Amino acid sequence: MSEIVYPPVIKAAQGLFKALDMKFRLEGTERIPRTGGAVLVSNHVSYLDFIFAGLAAHPSRRLVRFMAKKEIFDHRIGGPLMRGMHHIPVDREAGAASYKAALSALKSGEIVGVFAEATISRSFTVKDIKSGAVRMAVAAKVPLIPVTLWGPQRLWTKGRPRRLLQRGVPISIQVGEPMYPKRGDDYEQVTKDLHTQLSELLEKAQRGYPHVPKPGEEWWQPAYLGGSAPTPEEAEALDLKELEARKSRTDG
pLDDT grade, residue 12 (50/70/90)? very high
What does the alpha-carbon distance between residue 102 and residue 72 come to, in Å, rounded to a whole number? 17
Task: Please answer whether residues 86 and 196 qualify as being in contact, where contact means their C-beta atoms are separated by less than 8 angstroms.
Answer: no
**Which of 21, 97, 13 is closest to 53 using CA atoms?**
13
What does the alpha-carbon distance between residue 196 and residue 181 come to, in Å, rounded to a whole number? 15
Q: What is the pLDDT of residue 83?
A: 95
CA 148 to chain centre: 8
Q: For the residues 150-166, what does the mean pLDDT come to?
A: 97
- The per-residue pLDDT for range 18-49, each reduced to its tens digit, is 999 999 999 999 999 999 999 999 999 999 99
- The per-residue pLDDT for range 72-131, each reduced to its tens digit, is 999 898 999 999 999 999 987 777 899 999 999 999 999 999 999 989 999 999 999 999
The identity of residue 117, as a single letter, is E
Q: For the residues 12-16, what does the mean pLDDT come to?
A: 95
- The per-residue pLDDT for range 167-225, each reduced to its tens digit, is 999 999 999 999 999 999 999 999 999 999 999 999 999 999 999 999 999 999 999 99
Other Cβ atoms less than 10 A from the Cβ of 250: the count is 7
Q: What is the pLDDT of residue 252?
A: 62
Q: For the residues 241-247, what does the mean pLDDT come to?
A: 89
The sheet that has 111-115: what strands, in order across it?
23-27, 170-175, 144-150, 38-42, 111-115, 64-69, 88-90
The identity of residue 146, as a single letter, is P
Most distant CA pair in the chain, distance: 51
CATH architecture, domain defined by 6-218: 3-Layer(aba) Sandwich (3.40)
- The per-residue pLDDT for range 118-141, each reduced to its tens digit, is 899 999 999 999 999 999 999 999
**Which of 76, 26, 55 is closest to 66 using CA atoms?**
55
pLDDT at 250 over 90: no
